[in-house]
């Protein structure tokens, strides 16, 4: 019998009989791998374990520990979900059912409206399917046959998908028991491989993600190789929910959103302290980095917005008002105002780059269904800046902004993800200009050696952009920073500078925001720190806890001393037991508690309790003041 050489991941070369399946190879390597193997990569292609090896090649076998394994595992779980739904609701038509980052989903079209109770039933049915251990069988079929097959069963969505596949595509279907689906694969060997499943939630989802199409019902689920992993994942989700900024925001008295102002957040005194700390820091850094600060009006004449292009490109997101019968708009962006400021003076090429920052309050009409705490609101403050410069300064200046973003995020301890967004459908300007602008951004990213992904067609209407994304507590990511190159506004507003040659020239403009929206950034801060802010940000930095009423006078004196040293301090004067006061300060997540009893009063000391560490012993008042002052100025996390 002919034999072939198989090169394994660790470089080892083994010989097998031609036609051996990957499953058999896995078993031959080790019993454990034979059991845990899910899919494999054979000569660069991801395939089923049932694939037969017909020539020499490289083989990598994946288990649930590999991303490729997880993906197939979840994808197979989605097929089991679909099969279960078909058993219970035979009229169902199938959309798509891919694996996603923490699980999978499947979209269904059926008269029946799924309820949470249905999820339990479906889950039971899925477990039956798993127990039956149906093998996943792959079959490649000619295009015509596939079309006939799905047309016959009325699977109009599948038919649509097949029609759009390229002419030469290999069309494969997978069958498990009485269920059959159009699918490129690969899949795990059989339904029995799936161990722990859980259906998470129900939601509507448009067919192929377009508002114009019918809304299907989507069921989200997850699955794991072990029950313990599933439990761990569910516990993690629970933990993340406790960090939700909306929950912590009310608990800690930071902000509220009320029916009277959907999407218009109210900041409470403690939330304002947090906000002002962030803004003070921002101002200080921007001064050091050579920015000037301006403030432009919230309401401006219609003609300005017509000139800027917002009237044509952004109208559905804007609010309007009339003053003395004349149309005005509430600004949705700060740029036109900044352009007007720029135009009030003549500029020389020697002045460039001019970095003009603005904490600008903008209003945008967001659709009602998208509002989300502080993360997605209708009125927010952008930490905007417009940088006016010579075309030759573009790359250097973008790199400069990238460094500033990196520095500011590092102070808060954030990790971030970078995206480059290119020309959208609804755009102003020629393809050449867009190309040139996009290249400038790309070049800056590459020179800074920053990893980024490209988001085609997602740029602003006036130019391409680099976006910086931060993650919230349950892994959703939110755009915060953005750098946008703009060749349009300078044209529209006829911006000029006097060059070396004494002639007028056109400057280039960068729009950029780093925190993005102060509101959103604060939402992310709350979740990032789980409400336990570092001392420099904490609304109350020190809580003084007298043990009995006898220490009230000393407490008052102590508070005065701390407050005069710029430390945000409060005293708990209630006649409660010390344990009670500590518990409360702890729940308020106050970084330092100073316990004072007769002993401390006599010695002029304080007993320090740290939020995270508990009792750390006593020290003199000045020692404590020095320590905390240093911690505040260093912005220690």
Partner RNA sequence: GCUGAUGUGGCUCAGGGGUAGAGCAGCGCACUCGUAAUGCGCAGGCCGUGGGUUCAAAUCCCACCAUCAGCUCCA
In the bound state with RNA, the residue whose beta carbon lies nearer, of 41 and 378, is 378
Short-list 148, 177, 151, CA closest to 79: 177
Distance CA 434, CA 568 (A): 50
The token duo for 429 is 């300007």
Q: Is 335 a catalytic residue?
A: yes
Q: Is 465 a catalytic residue?
A: yes
- Look at the block and give the residue holding tokens 């401390």: 600
510: alpha, beta or left, given left = phi > 0 and alpha = psi -120 to 50? beta
Burial per residue of 443-455, b for 16 or more beta-carbon CB atoms within 10 angstroms, e otherwise: ebbeeeebebeee
Short-list 588, 584, 573, CA closest to 540: 588
Q: For residues 509 and 384, is the Cβ–Cβ distance under 8 A?
A: no
In the bound state with RNA, the residue whose beta carbon lies nearer, of 83 and 381, is 381
Least Å from the CB of residue 114 to RNA: 8
The token duo for 496 is 């000029």
In the bound state with RNA, the residue whose beta carbon lies nearer, of 69 and 546, is 546
Least Å from the CB of residue 34 to RNA: 37
Q: For residues 125 and 92, is the Cβ–Cβ distance under 8 A?
A: no
Least Å from the CB of residue 550 to RNA: 6
Least Å from the CB of residue 412 to RNA: 15
Short-list 370, 80, 375, 64, CA closest to 233: 64
Q: Is 183 a catalytic residue?
A: no
In the bound state with RNA, the residue whose beta carbon lies nearer, of 36 and 366, is 366
Q: For the chain, first and last CA: distance in Å?
A: 67
Q: Is 214 a catalytic residue?
A: no
Residues whose CB is less than 8 angstroms from the CB of residue 119 and which lie 6 or more positions away in sequence, other chains included: 199, 202, 219
Beta pairing partners, 407: none
Annotated active-site residue in 158, 193, 286, 364: 364
Rg (Cα) of the chain, in Å, rounded?
31
Q: Is 346 a catalytic residue?
A: no
Short-list 266, 521, 254, 513, CA closest to 375: 521
Annotated active-site residue in 118, 384, 472, 486: 384
Annotated active-site residue in 75, 158, 378, 511: 511
In the bound state with RNA, the residue whose beta carbon lies nearer, of 210 and 564, is 210
In the bound state with RNA, the residue whose beta carbon lies nearer, of 63 and 473, is 473
Annotated active-site residue in 176, 335, 486, 520: 335
Annotated active-site residue in 193, 376, 465, 581: 465
Short-list 597, 549, 593, CA closest to 573: 549
The token duo for 610 is 């740290």
Q: How many residues does the chain have?
A: 637
In the bound state with RNA, the residue whose beta carbon lies nearer, of 500 and 613, is 613
Q: Is 75 a catalytic residue?
A: no
Distance of CA 302 to the CA centre of its chain: 35
Least Å from the CB of residue 373 to RNA: 5
Beta pairing partners, 292: 356
Short-list 618, 548, 554, CA closest to 581: 548
How many Cα atoms occupy the beta-carbon half-sphere of 404 within 13 Å? 27
Least Å from the CB of residue 375 to RNA: 7
- Look at the block and give the residue holding tokens 């259906």: 199
In the bound state with RNA, the residue whose beta carbon lies nearer, of 74 and 193, is 74
Q: For residues 632 and 536, is the Cβ–Cβ distance under 8 A?
A: yes
Least Å from the CB of residue 516 to RNA: 4
Q: What is the DSSP string of 599-611?
A: HHHHHTEEEEEET
Distance CA 256, CA 243 (A): 16
The token duo for 430 is 């020629």
In the bound state with RNA, the residue whose beta carbon lies nearer, of 193 and 376, is 376
Short-list 122, 136, 130, CA closest to 84: 122
Least Å from the CB of residue 26 to RNA: 35
Main-chain dihedrals φ then ψ at residue 463, nearest 5 degrees: 175, 165
Beta strand pairing status for 569-571 and 504-505? unpaired
In the bound state with RNA, the residue whose beta carbon lies nearer, of 134 and 533, is 533
Residues whose CB is less than 8 angstroms from the CB of residue 78 and which lie 6 or more positions away in sequence, other chains included: 97, 98, 99, 104, 105, 106, 221
How crowded is residue 36: how many other Cβ atoms within 10 Å of its Cβ? 17
Least Å from the CB of residue 377 to RNA: 4
Q: Is 511 a catalytic residue?
A: yes
Contacts 24+ apart (CB under 8 A), 252-260: 252/526, 252/531, 252/539, 252/588, 252/589, 254/522, 254/526, 254/539, 255/374, 255/522, 257/373
Annotated active-site residue in 83, 176, 217, 382: 382
Least Å from the CB of residue 254 to RNA: 13
In the bound state with RNA, the residue whose beta carbon lies nearer, of 280 and 576, is 576
Least Å from the CB of residue 120 to RNA: 15
Catalytic site residues?
335, 364, 382, 384, 386, 465, 511
């Amino acid at each position: 019998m002919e034999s072939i050489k198989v090169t394994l991941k660790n470089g080892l070369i083994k010989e097998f009989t031609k036609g051996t399946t990957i499953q058999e190879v896995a078993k031959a390597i080790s019993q454990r791998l034979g059991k845990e193997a899910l899919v494999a990569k054979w000569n660069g292609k991801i395939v089923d374990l049932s694939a037969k090896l017909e020539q020499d090649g490289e083989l990598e076998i994946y288990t649930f520990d590999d991303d490729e394994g997880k993906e197939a595992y979840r994808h197979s779980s989605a097929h089991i979900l679909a099969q279960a739904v078909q058993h219970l609701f035979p009229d169902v038509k199938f959309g798509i059912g891919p694996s996603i980052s923490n699980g999978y989903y499947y979209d269904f079209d059926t008269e029946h409206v799924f309820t949470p109770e249905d999820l339990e039933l479906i889950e039971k049915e899925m477990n039956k399917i798993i127990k039956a251990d149906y093998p996943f069988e792959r079959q490649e079929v000619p295009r015509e046959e596939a079309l006939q097959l799905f047309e016959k069963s009325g699977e109009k969505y599948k038919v649509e998908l097949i029609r759009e596949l390229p002419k030469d595509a290999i069309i494969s279907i997978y069958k498990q028991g009485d269920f059959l689906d159009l699918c490129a694969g690969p899949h795990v060997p059989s339904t029995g491989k799936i161990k722990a499943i859980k259906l998470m939630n129900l939601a509507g989802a448009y067919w192929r993600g377009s508002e114009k199409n019918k809304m299907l019902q989507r069921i989200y689920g997850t699955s794991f190789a072990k029950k313990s992993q599933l439990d761990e994942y569910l516990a993690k989700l629970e933990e993340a929910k406790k960090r939700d900024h909306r929950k912590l925001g009310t608990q800690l008295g930071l902000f509220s959103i009320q029916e009277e102002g959907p999407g218009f957040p109210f900041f409470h005194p403690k939330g304002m302290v947090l906000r002002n700390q962030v803004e003070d820091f921002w101002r200080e850094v921007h001064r050091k980095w050579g920015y000037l600060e301006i403030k432009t009006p919230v309401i401006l004449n219609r003609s300005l917005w017509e000139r800027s292009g917002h009237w044509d490109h952004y109208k559905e997101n804007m609010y309007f008002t009339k003053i003395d019968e004349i149309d005005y708009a509430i600004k949705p962006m700060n740029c036109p105002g900044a352009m007007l400021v720029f135009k009030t003076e003549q500029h020389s090429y020697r002045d460039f780059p001019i970095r003009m920052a603005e904490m600008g309050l903008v209003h945008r009409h967001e659709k009602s269904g998208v509002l989300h705490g502080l993360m997605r609101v209708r009125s927010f403050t952008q930490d905007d800046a417009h940088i006016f410069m010579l075309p030759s300064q573009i790359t250097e200046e973008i790199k400069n902004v990238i460094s500033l973003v990196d520095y500011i995020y590092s102070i808060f301890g954030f990790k971030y993800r970078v995206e480059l967004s290119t020309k959208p459908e609804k755009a102003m300007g020629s393809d050449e200009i867009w190309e040139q602008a996009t290249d400038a951004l790309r070049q800056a990213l590459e020179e800074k050696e920053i990893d980024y992904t490209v988001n085609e067609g997602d740029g602003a209407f006036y130019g391409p952009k680099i976006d910086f994304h931060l993650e919230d507590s349950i892994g959703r990511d939110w755009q915060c920073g953005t750098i946008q190159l703009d060749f349009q506004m300078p044209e529209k507003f006829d911006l000029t500078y006097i060059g070396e040659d004494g002639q007028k020239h056109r400057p280039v403009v960068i729009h950029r925001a780093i925190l993005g929206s102060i509101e959103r950034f604060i939402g992310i801060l709350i979740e990032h720190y789980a409400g336990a802010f570092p001392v420099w940000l904490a609304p109350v930095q020190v809580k003084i806890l007298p043990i009995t009423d006898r220490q009230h006078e000393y407490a008052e004196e102590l508070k005065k001393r701390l407050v005069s040293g710029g430390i945000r301090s409060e005293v708990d004067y209630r006649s409660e037991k010390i344990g009670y006061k500590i518990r409360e300060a702890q729940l308020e997540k106050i970084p330092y508690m100073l316990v004072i009893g007769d002993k401390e009063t006599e010695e002029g000391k304080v007993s320090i309790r740290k939020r995270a560490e508990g009792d750390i012993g006593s020290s003199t008042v000045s020692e404590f003041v020095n320590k905390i002052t240093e911690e505040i100025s260093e912005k220690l996390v």
